[in-house]
Structure 1
């Protein structure tokens, strides 16, 4: 569905995307992850055929966006990070007007609006004003609007930013159902749990480059250990203690408020720590996650 080879994007002297290779397969959920400034948004805008490629080869649905931009845009849906809904219109009219932009016949749009309102569980809010909706409802309406043209590819930029946990899970369910229906999903996210829940495959971007690619499980297995022991000591003690505990795991990461000891057996790490006479203020043993992959690959958390 999407093929990129050596794709670059420059803004004057600044090269935001520095030559990436990406393949997105039909019907999968594909993620772009990385810290702010990694080049994710620039890449998404090129895929959406609204920003020209500076160098390299990009094909969307088998077409060149420099030549067939309108044809590509007619077959993709875009869910932006910010909800750009029309607050002066009702929920139903937001979808109806957007459908008419695509040139759909009035009868077809009306049927499609009813179908989408049911899909995102907003039928009862059809005649409500957008201002009366909760944040989660607005997000679901934005997703519904991006589906009005029955897209082959749906681009989602930070689809659940700012939502509470319950609303996030509702959105995840809707996106999972879309994937089951054969819609190809391409998303960016700052939430590691979201990437693990939704993405079949993903790439990690940093400084305009792809630094890792694979399924969430493959990336965790490749770049981390089975378990992580989190140790919290007193303020200012973590740098010194990291040296004393370096032999207990495959590696030790120092965060501002805790130490992370990566090993195959976190409980064994805790036992060895206590054997050395150290008493952490708090401890936790957990499985490795995508956040640990980021610490390994980029040296910082996703949000920076």
Structure 2
């Protein structure tokens, strides 16, 4: 089984989830990357990633040592070319509440003496969840859960990967993670402006999560996928169902009117390289018979009407 790679975003109940992973997989089978200087970072990470930068050797040794789970405060881009993108997971939290919680953590545990404004205006703290996941990577993730729906998220994740990570409460800080932070109107407005990209990403990811939950309750398969290009009279994208044996049938809509269908069974080298499933045979394309307004195009899964993401610009 391919390993699961958990992008642990700070202050998103990730420590509690990691403890659950330790319990299910066995602590010896969980690899950690919390930075080269962090004591919890696994030796294998220091040797192959921090020093030699040889991803192939790292993947080979990772498998040889029997690791089944990788976790840490790293950018997804660091490992998305080494492991299957469809095995990458994370949990998100309301962007403004998350950064307020992280500020309190830095003050309490790291001796941070700057103001809240100093903290959230710092470039490394702007759009942080989006930067860790990757603006161009997140649609490929196998699963994205949410702190405010942690129980449902864990159930859906376990169902998707056929595992049984328990919901643990040993982490004392978890109660703080979900505690609302009191902010002023001016602080909220500035945070919304600074983190506009992340707020849009959060909203899109949450809409997909809601569809995943809805389909699971109806015993229907969730479909990962997106429209990647709409130009020169042609549309292209990829889609894969959790029921991988069946290629996804896509309906193409313009101004909410169905104008045609196509099947997601075309070969895409990129999708195969990313390990998205079906050996890369998950692409779809559609040619328009008339000029259309690009902004009015939508692709949905034919049997459920689940909308696919639009990632073209």
- Which gives a bigger RCO, structure 1 or 2 (Cα 8 Å, sep 6+)? 1
Structure (1 or 2) with the greater strand fraction: 1
Larger Rg: 1
Query: Same fold by TM-score, threshold 0.5 exceeded?
Result: no
What is the TM-score normalised by the length of structure 2?
0.30
Instruction: Compute the TM-score of the two structures, normalised by the length of structure 1.
Output: 0.30
